[in-house]
Amino acid sequence: MIKYPTGQGNKNKIENQEATNFGRRGMSLEKMINLSNKHYLKYGVAVVHKKPTPVQIVKVDYPNRSHARITEAYFRQPSTTDYNGVYKGYYLDFEAKETTRATYLPLDNFHEHQIRHMEDCIKQKGICFVIVSFVKLNRFFMLPAELVIKYWNMKTKNGRKSIPLEIFIEKGFEFKPTNLPLVPYIDFVNKFINQEIS
Amino acid sequence: MIKYPTGQGNKNKIENQEATNFGRRGMSLEKMINLSNKHYLKYGVAVVHKKPTPVQIVKVDYPNRSHARITEAYFRQPSTTDYNGVYKGYYLDFEAKETTRATYLPLDNFHEHQIRHMEDCIKQKGICFVIVSFVKLNRFFMLPAELVIKYWNMKTKNGRKSIPLEIFIEKGFEFKPTNLPLVPYIDFVNKFINQEIS
């Protein structure tokens, strides 16, 4: 039986208070999404989790029977996007990206694997999208994965290196992380289902 | 830019050959499922991945700029099941368990977290189930998560400690891992969708 570190419960409580009382000051997009996942889960809206970072474990020490300590491990390349889950029977799958660029999102924020994964999920009728934070502009968007794939394929064909901000403004869903959930991705999903975004 | 270990491609090729040429001799249930996920992905049937093992990373060394080495980390308790994905618009979610018991599956194979996660997914109309290998009997079953939850709740109420083998025989879907995919969970899912299993 492995003993896990304790205190997670308290940490979560503090994080929720932070989000409620002080807004999202200095909070990473990942943290904002994790809090939003918790919010949706708590209120029975959707079940979405971040996948753990894939790690190749090489060496584990057992100082005592109940406690394992990993002493050598390496990061592995993720074969999928970071987030997936279920909402009213719909499969959701998304990736989050932050950029310091002011007028475009560089395509090298994505791995080939992630693009192929989004393609595969769309073929199986999953709802796939990306959540992008333009840090310097303080602007936040969701964009259907179909558009990311389209621009990615232009990269191979004609060397395109980015998705322009205008595409996010014209085709995406802009949100302001001012209320809970900070990242209201279910609003985007509802619009996508109702074909208000495509 | 992080460099990841190479050679994964070759390893996969060898594993596929193993599965094809030599059957599943000595193969763990996890490995069998991972090969089945690859098979379904390759033929465009479904997109299901095992989630990485959750690890809390404490210390990382950078011997050079492109190579990160984790030197202290700990296993964390998973907050969900191990596998999820999408099939024809359906959200799939499952957990795999091996037992050496011959007449029952002990309920302590599950964490409270996993049971709650399966409940949450079912509420969102996900298709949730468990895949169980009775190692000594060389018998394999899939069982709807609803039944696992039912038995788990009897644990709290009247101290029940296991799910009898008979329940798997009567209510589950038995399979023999003789063809590819070794673990034909999509057959089970189709029966579940068509309400031949409930």
pLDDT, tens digit only, all 198 positions of chain A: 444 444 444 444 444 444 444 456 679 999 999 999 999 999 999 999 999 999 999 999 998 767 899 999 999 998 899 999 999 999 999 999 999 999 999 999 999 999 999 999 999 999 999 999 999 999 999 999 999 999 999 987 888 899 999 999 999 999 999 999 999 999 999 999 999 988
Chain-chain contact of B121 with A47 (C-beta, under 8 angstroms) = yes
* Tokens linked to B173: 């879907």
- Judge contact between A107 and A95, C-beta under 8 A: no
Q: Residue B167: enclosing H or E segment and its boundaries?
A: helix B165-171
Residue B60 has pLDDT above 90, yes or no: yes
The β-bridge relationship of strands B104-106 and B162-164 is: antiparallel
Distance separating alpha carbons of residues B114 and B124, to the nearest angstrom: 15
Chain-chain contact of A73 with B88 (C-beta, under 8 angstroms) = no
Provide the percentage of residues in chain B whose pLDDT is more than 90.
77
Q: How close does chain B come to A176, measured CA to CA in Å?
A: 26
- DSSP annotation string for A109-131: GS-HHHHHHHHHHHHTT-EEEEE
For an interface test with B, give the residue of A47, A62, A92, A111 to mutate (most B CBs within 10 A): A47
Residues annotated within the binding site of B for Mg(2+) are 80, 82, 95, 114
Residue B105 has pLDDT above 60, yes or no: yes
- What's the pLDDT score for residue B23? 54
Buried b or exposed e, range B102-126, using 16+ CB within 10 angstroms: eebbebebbeeebbebbbbbbebeb
Residue B155 confidence class, pLDDT cut points 50, 70, 90:
confident
Q: How close does chain A come to B7, measured CA to CA in Å?
A: 12
Residue B175 has pLDDT above 50, yes or no: yes
Q: Which 65-124 residues of chain A touch chain B by CB within 8 A?
A: 68-80, 84-91, 93, 117, 120-121, 123-124
What residues contact A32, with CB distance under 8 A and at least 6 apart? A19, A24, A177, A182, A183
What domains sit in chain A, N to C, each tagged with a CATH number?
A: 22-52+78-193 (3.40.1350.10)
Chain-chain contact of A75 with B2 (C-beta, under 8 angstroms) = yes
3-state secondary structure of A176: coil
* Tokens linked to B193: 């969708």
- What's the pLDDT score for residue B25? 62
